[in-house]
Every structure is written in C-alpha cells, then in structure tokens.
Amino acid sequence: MSNQAESSDSKGTKRDFSTAILERKKSPNRLIVDEAVNDDNSVVSLNPETMEKLQLFRGDTILLKGKKRRDTICIALADDTCEEPKIRMNKVVRSNLRVRLGDVVSVHQCPDVKYGKRVHILPVDDTIEGVTGNLFDAYLKPYFLEAYRPVRKGDLFLVRGGMRSVEFKVIETDPAEYCVVAPDTEIFCEGEPVRREDEDRLDEVGYDDVGGVRKQMAQIRELVELPLRHPQLFKSIGVKPPKGILLYGPPGSGKTLIARAVANETGAFFFCINGPEIMSKLAGESESNLRKAFEEAEKNAPSIIFIDEIDSIAPKREKTNGEVERRIVSQLLTLMDGLKSRAHVIVIGATNRPNSIDPALRRFGRFDREIDIGVPDEVGRLEVLRIHTKNMKLSEDVDLERIAKDTHGYVGADLAALCTEAALQCIREKMDVIDLEDESIDAEILNSMAVTDEHFKTALGSSNPSALRETVVEVPNVSWDDIGGLENVKRELQETVQYPVEHPEKFEKFGMSPSKGVLFYGPPGCGKTLLAKAIANECQANFISVKGPELLTMWFGESEANVREIFDKARQSAPCVLFFDELDSIATQRGSSVGDAGGAADRVLNQLLTEMDGMSAKKTVFIIGATNRPDIIDPALLRPGRLDQLIYIPLPDETSRHQIFKACLRKSPVSKDVDLKDLAKYTQGFSGADITEICQRACKYAIRENIEKDIERERRRKENPEAMEEDAEDEVAEIKAAHFEESMKYARRSVSDADIRKYQAFAQTLQQSRGFGSEFRFSEAGTGGAADRVLNQLLTEMDGMSAKKTVFIIGATNRPDIIDPALLRPGRLDQLIYIPLPDETSRHQIFKACLRKSPVSKDVDLKALAKYTQGFSGADITEICQRACKYAIRENIEKDIERERRRRENPEAMEEDVEDEVAEIKAAHFEESMKYARRSVSDADIRKYQAFAQTLQQSRGFGSEFRFSEAGTGGATGSDPFAASAGGGADDDDLYS
C-alpha cells in the first residue's frame, strides 16, 4: 500500500475515489471464470497451487458465490492445465451462479455438507416435450448412482440421456439448502413440471443488467449497500447513514431498473410505491397507505422503499390546489424524519421533474443525495447495447461500437427499443416463408434467422431519442453532394462543427474550446438552410430546427421558457446542431421592438444570450443561425463567444452554378444535348433556389411530354389491339435541351442587383467593425405593462432588503441607455462600473489566459500581438486564439491523414512518429488568424460608452460647483444645482439620438 501511495505522490496525480466501491478487492479466493474441459455439472477445476493457497484437497466440497446473491456447491478437482487465478466450470454451474466467462466468483470451504435424507427434483416443462418413459429410471438414477453429487435448493442441472437432454430443478432438500445425494438418499420426483416462464421470472435484475451509469451506480452503492451491509462503518466514524436518495433524469434512463438491481443485489426487502397508487378519495386514507408502507418496510428491515414518480404525490405545496397532496407531502416529511438512523430502511425516490418536488423533501436528512441519471455517453451506450444484445442472435457484421457512436442522445429505453426494432426487421424479412396458421415453425427457419447490421441501420432510420420526440429532431439526409459550390464555406463549417465531434482529443491537446456558433447571412435562396442540414448529417449529430416565430407565445414568460427548454433538449442529445432559421424574427436589436407585448422579443433575445453563455464546453452543442436581414440583428449576439463565425453566403459564381445544376440533376436522366456549362454561364445573378426552379420546370415539361406519349400510345393500342407496337417509351425518358429552353423562358432572378449591393456593403462594413452604429437609442414609452410590473417588483424587492442580510445584486448590460433610471439611483444599483476595452497590458494578460492550456510555439510573441490588437475586446482576442488553434488542429489532422495513407501504402516501413512536429500553435497560425481578426466594437461605439459614462458622472455629482449658499441670500437668487442635473437627461437624448 505504501508503495502505491508513494508512486501516486511522485507523479503528483490524485487518485479518483468516486468509483472505488466498484473495484473488487484482491483476494486469493476470488477467481476468474473459465470454460470447463470436463462437462460435469458437479465438478469445478482449479490450479493445484490455487488449491494449496485455499487449503483445499482433491474431492473437497466447496461453496461458490456468484452474482445476484447466488451460490452453489461443487466438488473441487486439481487441473494442471488451468491457469492461475482461474476456475473452470461448465455452463450449468455458471447459469446457477448467474456469471459468464471472465466474471469473478469467490470460493469458500464447505466442510459441513451432510448426506441428504430426501430431495425433491422436478423437470423443466420445455425440455421433456416428446420424452417417453420413466424420467427417474432413464435420467435421474444413472446421473446420481454412486456419484455422491452435492446439490443446492433452487439449482438447475442438465442430464443427458439417449437422444435428448432434460433439465431438472432441485425444489427441496432435507437437510435444508444443500446436501450430498448418497445411495440411500430418497429422490422424489412426483409433481407438475416446472414452467420455464416462472423460472425466467425469478432471474432478477442485477448490476450486470444496468449499463451506462458506472459513476452513478458507485454513488448509489455507497449510500445504500454500505449502510445496509456494514452499518458499523458509519457508527465507528460517528455519522448517521443517509435516509434517502432522489434519482432524477429523463424518462427511460434506468431509474426504476437501478432501484430494483440494488434491492436484488443487497438482498433487501423491496417495497415499491407507484406514486398515484396511494391516492384515495377517502379523507386520511392516502396518508394511512403511506404510513403502512413505512411500517411494513421497518418490520422487514433491511429494506428499500422505492417511490416511483414521486413528483405526482409530493408536488410543491404552495403551487398545488389539492388539500390531499399537501397532507401527503407533510406525512412523507414526518415519516422520513421519524425513520430511526439505524433502522436499515432507505427511501429511494425517482422523478423526471425534480424541480416540481416540494423543497422541504430535498434537504439533508430526508433525500440526502440527488443523483442525475442522465443520457449515457458513447461508452455507456455501448454497455447498454451489449446488455440488450447478449441473448440476441447477431450476425458477424454487426458493429455495436458504430451503433453506439450513431445513437447520440439515446437513453437505455431507446436503445432497448432499437434492438427490438432490429429484431422485428429480421422477422419481417422471413415473413414470406413463415405461415401464421402453422402451429410450429420449422427449425431450419429459426436457425437461419440472425439480426444483421442492415437491420440495425433500418431500425436507426425509424427511431429517434425519446427526449426529443416533441421537438423537430432529425439527422437530415442532405449531404455535401446536394450542395453545389461554396467550397470555402464547407471547409469553414467542417472545422467549426465536424472537428469537435470527430476529433475532440485534438482540442484537448491544444487546450482550446471550439466555437459555439455560426451565422449564415446572405440573399434568399443561396443554400443557408441546406448547409446547416448537410453539416449535421456529415458529423451524424442530432439536428433541431427552430423556426424563430414559433418561440413567441402570448403568455408572459413562456417564450423565454421555450428557449430554455430547447437548449436543455439540445444539451441532452449532444452532439446536436441547433438551427435557428429566420433568426432576425427573434433577435432584433433590443429597444427597437416597440409595442410587442411587453418587450417579449427583447426577453427572448436576453434568454438566448444567457443560454449561449451558459453552454458547457463538454456538451457539443452548435448553434447555427440563418438570416437574410443581418442589419437588424442585435450586435450582442454576434460577438465572439456566441455567433462568432459570420459567414456570408453570396450568390453563386459560374463554377458554383455549374455545380448546383449537377447537384440538382444528379438523380435525373439528362440528355447528352444539354450543356450544363452553357446554362451556368447564362444564369448570371441567379441564386441556388432560382436554378433549382429552372431544373424542376424542365423536369415538369419532360414528365408532361412523357405522359402525353403514354396516353397517345394507349389510344393507338385500343384502336388497333392486334398491332404489337414497339415500346418507344425510352424516346423521351430523359430531360432534353428543348425542355430547358422552354424552362428558361420563365426563369427569373429572385435577388435584384440593388439587394446584392446592400449585402456586399454590409459584409464589408462587418469586416471593418461590428458595432451597432447609429442604432443606439433610448426606447420609446409604451412597451406594455408586463415589463413595467416586473421592474416595479424588482425596485420594491431591492428597497425591502434588510441591511443585516448580505445579499448583493450585480447586473450586466451593454445597453445602459435603455435601463430605467430608477434602478440606477443610490440604494439600488448605486455602483455603476464602466468596463472599458482592455489596454495593452490587459490584452497581453488575456492572450496568456486564453492560451494557458495550449502548447504555444516559442516563435509566438504575445506582446507583439497585444500591441497590434489595439481596440479589440477580450472576446475578440479569444476568437483570434480559437482561430489560430483551429488552423493548428487542421494541420495536425491533415498530417495524421497523410501519415496513415503512407502507412497503408507501405505497411512494412515503420515510420518515425512525427506527431509532435505540429503539436503546438505556431506564429504562422496566428498570422493566418489575424487576417480574419476584426473588432466587434467600433470607435464610434467606444465614444458613446465613454460619453455615457461621462454624462452619468456629471449627472451624479455637482463637481467643484457645489458650495453652501451664503447667509442672507434666501436661496432665491442662488444657482440651483438640480436644474443642471435635470437637464442631463436631455443631453443624453441628444447624445444618442
């Protein structure tokens, strides 16, 4: 032990004890299960050295303990070919112990096994179909004759005889639990055969049947198993064991399954309360039912009380209208407080709405620990898939690792449904050879059935994560092939979205978090929506499409809740692309939306900004906005750290138009006389949507011609049925040049030259600066009463705060001009602090902070960068660092691909690992990044902020002008300092108008 402690200290790494309970302690009697050579049901083989360590002799009877509290007894034999520390046992023994090959069992001496007086053994019904004759004479008598076999009550064993094998179960033994069947033991085998269904039902859920929640299982076992099995641990350390655990998470994540597994593995009495079951219409009976449950659990301790859907019986008392619910909550609180600290009763609650539960239940001493049973990651999904497919007949081509990778956002129940759907798909394919009317199905058909990778792909196509079913979620079937041109945009998108999903380790290596958002802007019909769909498909991320106006509702506060809910769902199903189409409908500049139901659009925008800032770097959620009105979007949304990649999607040039024609027509039969290059040349100024329309119209004319030919041919056939006319269908089964010529007569441009000039001017302005220009203004009165009421409440709360209560309020805004002045008076938000743009020293510090986890080359001079970035904000500098890091990652990935290609071409040549060559961010990467660097705050904006700060300073004090009036003047003729102050508001208006 001391060695380990030293080694961990010398490396300077701390050991993670969060899952220590899952690690089995090493012990000589813990052995790994291996396949038996001898297929005897009563014998296990061990290495002679292992037997010596355990003080066992050949022929000793030993007790084996497996999983789910199962044990059995066997005879130990020495086997020189058995490796240490392994134990060989056949399938029957493994089944009785509920273990598989590679699992661990513990071996114990069992010297006091007595000879049995009487044993009761019955066959299993499905193994004796068609067996004739006396089972005792044909199977049991030869099996037990002179064998002195040990048996244990509840064990199953297989006996081979003649052409068939029959499975038996030990129903009862005398003496109880286990004994040895000797020649004078009476074997009693009268009675109804054991039903297979009853036997399968006894196979309880254990820890092995729960996947994808390793850390959560460790926490639960600490809180449940330790107090139930070793209560003295808590007693010796002087603390009370926990009384309750609240499991919360999305539906189908395995909360109920975990509770059942814990009860089965600990052997505790399990009392399940399904929330609504205890409700009764009779007064006082609901509380009585709850009391009875707790009394029953205390009588049968150690026990676990499991309350499923606890939010249905314990809602927040202040929000519920029913008196019954209030009484039940009070009763539950009283019962949990009344549990004796060492009564060995633990209450587990499960819910998918933890915030609906009464807060009094969530304090220490009641539900001590809240454990999030979330959506599993890729490793967790693979565990769950292996559990659900362990009894499935899988084809060799099934790649569970790939399926786990493709099922982002799926919980355990979704994966179970996926496996069932794949199996159903396999059955559907065989329906042509299966007759539903037959009593039995041919064994040859059953043996030929196996679930293939294709079945899983079909099942994947028709399923989606349950957490996202009410949201529009899809992995679109649009690929890069569907998009003509825009090569630079595609590359930019790949690096922003695809790299973090496919190469997360590169971002860790370079110590930089990826960009969170992209804004597409440009003329309508240039492929903005199509690009978002294609990138989601390429990196196999979930795709949530949000139509801007859908978020706005008539109820106060509900629009913001919709935004929160969408972001929550995106985080649950990460990696996820959140696509806001027509972003301008919900993200217009704050203060400009006059009379829109109390500033609903402003509040939605504020919620959007808050959610984007609050996104964890660990959750790969990307936000893509699309708009054709970039000029009205609030600049706070476009700053680095939010939608920092601003991509202009221009009208396609000639090469791109040619690519679009090819993409549109790639599935259509086009005649050789159609010259797509000519069409591309002729459609100057047309958008992608215009070109698609030209192709659709040409196709429509071809279909019209085709249908007319069919009608004409059918008419001639009716007039002259004997004449077998040659099939001339192929004559027009393609789109010809004539169709395109006809289509071009109606072709029109949807974007005018004037519009294009506006977009180009905006893109150019944006390149120079991204400020809000002359749009900074005070909001006009009359924005509705709801926001005013919220403000009044805020003012009242701030005035009502006691001086004894140390509560500090910090507000942040980049629009100080539209905040109500009542909020800024002394006694409320009285410390007004202007956060200016960083100076050179601060910029140098920001560069150092951004790159502190990144490997930066020595040729990068951060001081020079700080000097060169005069007028840049902290977010702008972060964006420069992120872009430089992105270029380094791009170079690194390209080197990896090239090295892999060379390795495949010449596998024998062991090339030296040159990975470290580019495993750092170099000066060249920063030089490239600086080409795209832009200031998000213009000089005009800075002057406005400074002027605002100065005006605020003047309106706040009287400076050197203040002096007491001299006696005798009466104050009438003295200058009134407040008059100057009162005028300040008008000056402010002049400043920002």
The enclosing domain of 417 has a CATH number of 1.10.8.60
How many Å separate Cα 485 from the centre of its chain?
33
**Residue 316 within a domain:** yes
Higher pLDDT, 537 or 981: 537
Asked, for residue 576, whether it belongs to a domain, the answer is: yes
Is the pLDDT assigned to residue 770 strictly greater than 70?
no
- Cα separation values, 779 from 162, 590, 605, 824, Å: 94, 9, 16, 17
Query: Is residue 134 assigned to a domain?
Result: yes
Question: Is residue 412 domain-shared with residue 367, that is, in the same domain?
Answer: no
CA-closest candidate to residue 296, choices 267, 335, 326, 264: 335
Are 743 and 621 found together in one domain? no
**The pLDDT value given to residue 899:** 86
User: H-type helices in 463-599, by residue range?
Assistant: 487-493, 499-502, 504-509, 528-538, 558-572
Q: Which of 328-337, 346-355, 485-494, 709-718 has the lowest mean pLDDT?
A: 485-494
Comparing 5 with 651, the larger pLDDT belongs to 651
Whether the bond into 907 is cis, omega within 30 of 0: no
Q: Which residues are paired to 35 by β-bridges?
A: 89
| 872 and 885 share one domain | yes
**Which residue, 699, 727, 750, sits at the end of a domain?**
750
Q: Is residue 546 part of a domain?
A: yes
Last residue of a domain, one of 725, 750, 775: 750
Split into its structural domains, the chain has a count of 7
* Residue at 797 is within a domain: no
Residues 34-75: pLDDT tens digits?
888 777 888 999 999 998 888 888 888 999 998 877 889 999
**Whether residue 485 is found in the same domain as residue 630:** yes
Q: At 361, list the tokens.
A: 């239940």
- The answer on 408 and 326 residing in a single domain is no
pLDDT, average across residues 347-360: 87
With a CB cutoff of 8 Å and minimum separation 6, the contacts of 798 are 809, 827, 828
Comparison of pLDDT for 49 and 794, the residue scoring more: 49
For the chain, how far is it from start to end, CA to CA, in angstroms? 74
Domain end (from 88, 112, 136): 112
The top-scoring range by mean pLDDT among 148-157, 202-211, 795-804, 941-950 is 148-157
Do 310 and 331 lie in a common domain? yes
Q: Give the whole-number percent of the chain exceeding pLDDT 70.
A: 83
Measured CA to CA, the distance from residue 176 to residue 78 in angstroms comes to 29
Residue 617 has pLDDT above 80, yes or no: no
Q: Which residues are 269's β-sheet partners?
A: 303
Give residue 981's pLDDT band: very low, low, confident or very high (50, 70, 90). very low
pLDDT of residue 616: 59
Burial of 952 (0-12, 13-18, 19+ CB in 10 A): middle
Which has the minimum average pLDDT: 616-630, 801-815, 852-866, 946-960?
946-960
Strands 186-188 and 244-248: unpaired
Question: Does pLDDT of 667 surpass 80?
Answer: yes
Between 722 and 392, the more confident residue is 392
Tell me, yes or no, whether 629 lies in a domain: yes
- Determine contact, residues 268/297, Cβ cutoff 8 Å: no
Given this model, what pLDDT does residue 781 score?
A: 42
Most confident of 189-203, 365-379, 899-913: 365-379
pLDDT at 867 over 80: yes
> Which residue bears the tokens 């006396």?
134
**CATH of residue 82:** 2.40.40.20
For 545-577, letters b (16+ CB in 10 Å) and e give bbebebbbeeebeebbebbeebbebbbbbbbbb
- Mean pLDDT computed over 820-848: 81
pLDDT above 90 (res 119): yes
| Cβ atoms 242, 343 nearer than 8 A | no
Tens digits of residue pLDDT in 83-113: 888 899 988 898 888 888 888 899 998 888 8
Q: Is-contact 254 286, C-beta < 8 A?
A: no
Give the CATH number for residue 541: 3.40.50.300
Q: What is the pLDDT of residues 229-263, one digit of tens each?
A: 777 888 888 888 788 899 998 888 888 888 888 88
Least confident of 99-113, 388-402, 940-954: 940-954
How confident is the model at residue 912, as a pLDDT?
52
Same domain, 422 and 503: no
CA 554, chain centre distance (Å): 31
Of the candidates 676, 605, 614, the one whose C-alpha atom is nearest the C-alpha of residue 634 is: 605
Q: How many Cβ atoms from other residues are within 10 Å of residue 307's Cβ?
A: 26
What distance separates the 2 farthest-apart alpha carbons in the chain? 132
**Higher pLDDT pick, 769 / 647:** 647
Q: Which of 692, 326, 759, 231 is nearest to 484 (CA)?
A: 692
Cis-peptide, bond into residue 142, ω within 30° of zero: no
Which range among 63-67, 439-443, 528-532, 958-962 shows the weakest confidence by mean pLDDT?
958-962
| More reliable by pLDDT, 873 or 785 | 873
What percent of the chain shows pLDDT beyond 90? 6
Are 603 and 478 in the same domain? Answer: yes
Residue 390 counted as domain residue: yes
Total-model pTM: 0.59
- The reply to whether 282 and 406 lie within a common domain is no
Mean pLDDT calculated for residue range 411-415: 89
Is residue 268 located within the same domain as residue 354?
A: yes
Asked if 220 and 336 sit in the same domain, the reply is yes
For the beta sheet containing 164-174, the strands, ordered from the edge strand earlier in sequence to the opposite edge, are: 156-161, 164-174, 118-123, 186-188
Q: Is 789 within a domain?
A: no
**116-130, 331-345, 616-630 — which one is most confidently predicted on average?**
116-130
Structure token digits, residue 244: 């309750």
| Cα(915)–Cα(258) distance, integer angstroms | 44
- Shared domain for 263 and 412, answered yes or no, is no
CA-closest candidate to residue 843, choices 875, 887, 803: 875
The token pair at 95 is 């089944």
**Domain membership of residue 496 as a residue range:** 473-592+599-634
Give mean pLDDT, residues 203-221: 82
Return the CATH number at 123.
Answer: 3.10.330.10
Please check the confidence at residue 974 and state whether its pLDDT lies above 80.
Answer: no
- Compute the average pLDDT of residues 160-179: 84
